[in-house]
Structure 1
Amino acid sequence: MSAAKIKKGDRVVVLSGKDKGKHGDVVKSLPKDGKLVVSGINMMVRHVKPSQSNPQGGLERREAPIHASKVALEDPKTGKPTRVGFRIEKDGSKVRVAKRSGEVING
């Protein structure tokens, strides 16, 4: 991604895959790989051996990274997926804008 169109803390909608249509917040961004970790999306099960910090061990559920092309930012006005554009404000600051509604995306 050339510019940070989706950032940590943004609310996104999954466009394809097993979690299609679900909404979640971006927990972590991995720009080198072009992937995102989204809360509650792309869950995987990890087998954990017992250790001193976790004497029980067992199965651990966690989010796996999902490719950025499979998610779209959620429009702040409608809640539907939208593309992201950029606009220069009068004070000279550059802001992200939802293409669907024209709303400024905070963050």
Structure 2
Amino acid sequence: MSEPKDLCPKVGKSFELIGKRWTGLIIYVLLGGPKRFSEIHSTIPDLSKRVLTERMKELEEHGIVVRHVIPERPIRTEYLLTKKGTELGKILGPISGWAEEWIKD
């Protein structure tokens, strides 16, 4: 594969976003469907609540995740991938197959 002369700024920004610690894993978890904050946190126990909050806000700002408030008693909030997030997830999803084959415990 040849080296690109100039990287597109969009490519750089996308790698910066998904390269942040936990971001790819959060997206991967949300590929399974809408999740509450506590469900995401319990699925990724090493992820602190503070960092999860930061990452969810970043993903919302980038239009990858949407926060959905369910007006029941008590009020519940779920996070789900947008179309943009689902498309990104299609690219990140196969990493699990690669990891199963190549990453040692």
More strand by share: 1
Higher relative contact order (CA 8 A, sep 6+): 2
Query: TM-score scaled to structure 1, two decimals?
Result: 0.29
More helix by share: 2
Query: TM-score scaled to structure 2, two decimals?
Result: 0.29
